[in-house]
Structure 1
Amino acid sequence: MSKAALIVIDVQRGMFAFPDQPPHDGEAVLSRIASLVARARETSTPLIFVQHDGGAGHPLEKPNEGWGVHPGTGYREGDAVVEKRNPDAFQNTDLQERLADLDVSTLVLTGMMTEYCVDTTCRRAFSLGYDVVLASDAHTTFSKPGLAGDMIVRHHNEILGNGFAKIETAADIEFKQYEALQ
């Protein structure tokens, strides 16, 4: 039987290291992700954390403190982790092989940053044939000059919901309902 997996993209300490520029709704997003992680554990749903290595001098440089998965996600030592260096969590990683080994056909996506790694991974997952569910209130980004973070999140929920992903709030996601959608 095919099943769902929860993917937590780039929710790392370094993303919350700028008190003058916090992620949009950051603490609430962390709370919603932690709730999804807890529910995934309760239902034995595969759970994979993705970590981005931004390279030398970047806030997410491996192995600096910013590299670590944010503890507010519910991450536990020993959880499955995929390391990446590109916005696409599949590019040059073993994510697809891990999902195949787990017989996963549906991905529930959460994380950071909405317009980069969440968007790119969502589109790639769709193109690889996965059913994708985007937790509409469990991904976030930073405000940009001329474009607030909440607008970026809403825009991507709208765009990705038009063909790439099913859009649901974190509270409405029940992992077992996605088994064998294909």
Structure 2
Amino acid sequence: MSGNTALLVIDVQVAMFNESDPVFQGELLLTRIQKLIAEARSKGIPIFYIQHNSRAGTPLEHGTTGWHIHQAIAPEHDDIVIQKKTPDSFYQTSLQQELDSRGIRKLVLTGIQTEVCVDTTCRNAYSLGYHVTLIRDAHSTWNTEELTAAQIINHHNRVLSWFSDHKSSDEDVFE
């Protein structure tokens, strides 16, 4: 998979780990994404960070402390950072052009928020003809009034199997 593959790290930004309402299993998520990043780097696989930009006064307002990519998985000089304003990492961004210019046709997805940005990006990547692998234990969200974060993650892992292959972060995801 490695020759035309990229790792996408979606919206893993400082505000998502706010002490008053942190993302579900945030530290474990960071550990798993760190492992995937290290594996991708060791194999020369490009890493794309997707960074959400929200309106003024919100935790993900451009340039604020919360907007920055989490320091535990910070980009390095060869990594690509794509700015977005909607749940879809492709919509009105340069992501598709950047992938196409590198001949990338296979995407490995991780990140936040399972039922919003991860879901939307996964579905659109599939519709655009990319082969998608969702790392089933390396995306996360928050509890809602109706469902726990674990229920949301499990549900989306089932639903997104229509649009992606699934692997665990413990597997060789870049084989």
Equivalent residue number for residue 148 of structure 1: 148
Residue 15 of structure 1 is matched in structure 2 by 16
1:90-139 CA distances to partner (integer Å, 9 max, x unpaired)? 00000000001111111000000000000000000000000000000000
Amino acid at match of 2:90: F
What is the CA distance between 1:77 and its match in structure 2? 5.2
Contact 2:137 2:169 in 1 (8 A): yes
* 2:7 alignment partner in structure 1: 6
- Give the root-mean-square deviation of aligned CA atoms: 1.4
Q: Which residue is 2:117 aligned to?
A: 117
For 1:65 and 1:20, how far apart are their aligned partners in 2? 16
Q: Is the 8 A contact 2:33 2:73 kept in 1?
A: yes
What amino acid maps onto 1:127 in structure 2? S
1:76 CA displacement = 2.8
After TM superposition, give the deviation of residue 25 of structure 1 in Å: 1.1
- 1:20-59 to structure 2, matched below 5 A, reads 20-59=20-59
Task: Give me the whole-angstrom Cα distance separating, in 1, the residues matched to 2:147 and 2:164.
Answer: 23
What is the TM-score of this pair, normalised by structure 2? 0.95
CA drift at 1:173: 3.3
Deviation, structure 1 residue 22: 1.6
Question: How far is 1:74 from its partner?
Answer: 4.6
Runs (5+) with no aligned partner, structure 2: none
Structure 1 unmatched ranges of 5 or more: 178-182
1:146 is paired with a residue whose SS is: coil
Cα separation, 1, equivalents of 2:24 and 2:173: 25
Give the aligned partner of residue 171 of structure 2: 172
How much does 1:23 deviate?
1.0
Indicate if the aligned counterparts of 1:2 and 1:105 stay in contact, CA closer than 8 A: no
Once the 2 structures are TM-superposed, how far is the Cα of residue 33 of structure 1 from its aligned partner? 0.4
